[in-house]
DNA sequence: AGCTCCTCCTAACATACATCAAGCTATTAA
DNA sequence: TTAATAGCTTGATGTATGTTAGGAGGAGCT
């Protein structure tokens, strides 16, 4: 159950057996089925989730009802409405399972306690946050300056395991193009 | 000298006279001229700057030498290579003055001390960071889903004071369109 | 002053992507 | 099983933006 997340942590920080034990003791398991929501707009978000098994997407729905996919998550990724979690504001995003999922959750207040007791965790989450910020910045630049084809190739290159599991119309949405265009791009490439 | 930044802080947190004094005592003044750089790629970034007077831009330069503007800053804004500052990695961005500037700098290590002594500052910078994250996310969505014209109107609406001071080719770059296209859009609007 | 550089504008043409419409296949539901 | 639905593909056509080229006006420099 915990072997994946401990391996994940060990890529960034080294923990003693006791520290590992202390960490896993505050995690909560959660499983949700395909098409169910982990979060919905308006909720308070006090938990962040690590994906043991499955695939999810987070998206924003605009006033006109259009869906805009922010992120996908598969095994070994973290997901939640990060801004809501971090700032304490209400959620603005849907987080929806697109496969049956097994997750591990960590509570915000528990995390604060953990930071004080074992500062290495602060380091771990700081690194993850910085990486997310950089990834977001690079996505802005891609969206502004690159063609749909370039963005699709980048996506396949960066997230091959996601490309294989997510439907093309969801990938198209994430890339900011229409499914018809993605279909044509794929035809051109393969 | 310090009245602007204290007013700026007071929009988010309330400080006693002593706390204000403690804060301003750790600030350093810096002035740079138009076309000079505040940061360049490869540098270590230990200072964040608050703009008292002037206008700057931060941009990323890709392998092909193309400039991609990330952000503008005018009076009452903070600027630096945030990821480098936050993560300790080397800078990837240029921060360049596009007018003569007067700035106040705060050092990363001083900030850490300040957080411990007066936790309200942690609150202040956390709010600023969350806001920056949300703004970046919303810029991703705009870039992916909206036309150049919509993005330009949003930009004029959100940052009227910047629109007036920055050249059109820089605005076009920020919006991810060519100056010729921006010119067409402006002709169409006015 | 005269010169150069920079900014902005305009126009003709090219390209990437959206839109609309239709058909094909595989999965789901009755 | 058949019917319905969702996802993918294709074609015809429209629109926004890029590309290339040129010109007008202003700012700063010699």
Q: What pLDDT was estimated at residue A75?
A: 95
Residues constituting chain B: 190
Average pLDDT over residues B37-42: 94
Query: How would residue B42 be classed by pLDDT, with cut points 50, 70 and 90?
Result: very high
Percent share of chain B, pLDDT over 90: 83
Distance CA A10, CA A14 (A): 5
Q: What is the mean pLDDT of chain B?
A: 93
Distance CA B80, CA B66 (A): 20
* CB-based contact B54:B101 (threshold 8 Å): yes
Q: What pLDDT was estimated at residue A170?
A: 96
Closest CA to B190 of B168, B166, B162: B168
- Whole-prediction pTM: 0.90
Q: What pLDDT was estimated at residue A54?
A: 94
Phi, psi of B43 (to 5 degrees): -75, 155
User: Angle at Cα B32 formed by Cα B29 and Cα B37, nearest 5°?
Assistant: 120
Closest CA to A111 of A52, A1, A27, A30: A27
Closest CA to B30 of B53, B60, B6, B46: B53
Closest CA to B106 of B126, B96, B121: B121
Considering only CA atoms, name the residue closest to the C1' of nucleotide D16: B147
**pLDDT beneath 70, residues of chain A:** none
Can you list the domains of chain A with their CATH numbers?
3-117 (2.60.120.10)
Q: In the block, which residue shows the tokens 């993005």? A: B151
Q: What pLDDT was estimated at residue A45?
A: 97
Q: Do B137 and A133 touch (CB under 8 A)?
A: no
Per residue in A129-184, pLDDT (tens digit) is 888 988 999 999 999 999 999 999 999 999 999 999 999 999 999 999 999 999 99
Q: Do B134 and A82 touch (CB under 8 A)?
A: no
Query: How would residue B66 be classed by pLDDT, with cut points 50, 70 and 90?
Result: confident
- Nearest residue in B to A68, CA atom: B141
DSSP string, A133-154: HHHHHHHHHHHHHS-HHHHHHH
Whether the per-residue pLDDT at B173 is higher than 90: the answer is: yes
Q: What pLDDT was estimated at residue A43?
A: 97
Give the nearest partner residue to B145 out of A68, A134, A141, using CB atoms: A68
Give the nearest partner residue to A176 out of B126, B137, B145, using CB atoms: B145
Q: What pLDDT was estimated at residue B63?
A: 83
């Amino acid at each position: 159950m915990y072997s994946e997340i401990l391996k994940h942590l060990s890529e960034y920080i080294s923990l003693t057996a006791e520290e590992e034990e202390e960490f896993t003791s505050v995690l909560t398991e959660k499983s949700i089925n395909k098409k169910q929501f982990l979060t919905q707009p308006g909720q308070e978000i006090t938990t962040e989730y690590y994906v043991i098994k499955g695939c999810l997407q987070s998206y924003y729905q605009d006033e006109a009802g259009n869906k805009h996919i922010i992120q996908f998550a598969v095994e070994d990724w973290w997901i939640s409405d990060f801004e809501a979690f971090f700032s304490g504001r209400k959620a603005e995003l849907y987080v929806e399972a697109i496969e049956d999922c097994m997750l591990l959750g960590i509570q915000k207040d528990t995390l604060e306690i953990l930071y004080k007791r074992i500062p290495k965790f602060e380091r771990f989450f700081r690194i993850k946050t910085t990486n997310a910020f950089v990834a977001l910045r690079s996505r802005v630049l891609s969206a502004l300056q690159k063609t749909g084809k370039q963005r699709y190739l980048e996506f396949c290159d960066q997230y091959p395991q996601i490309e294989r599991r997510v439907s093309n119309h969801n990938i198209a949405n994430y890339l900011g193009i229409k499914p018809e265009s993605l279909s044509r791009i794929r035809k051109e490439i393969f």
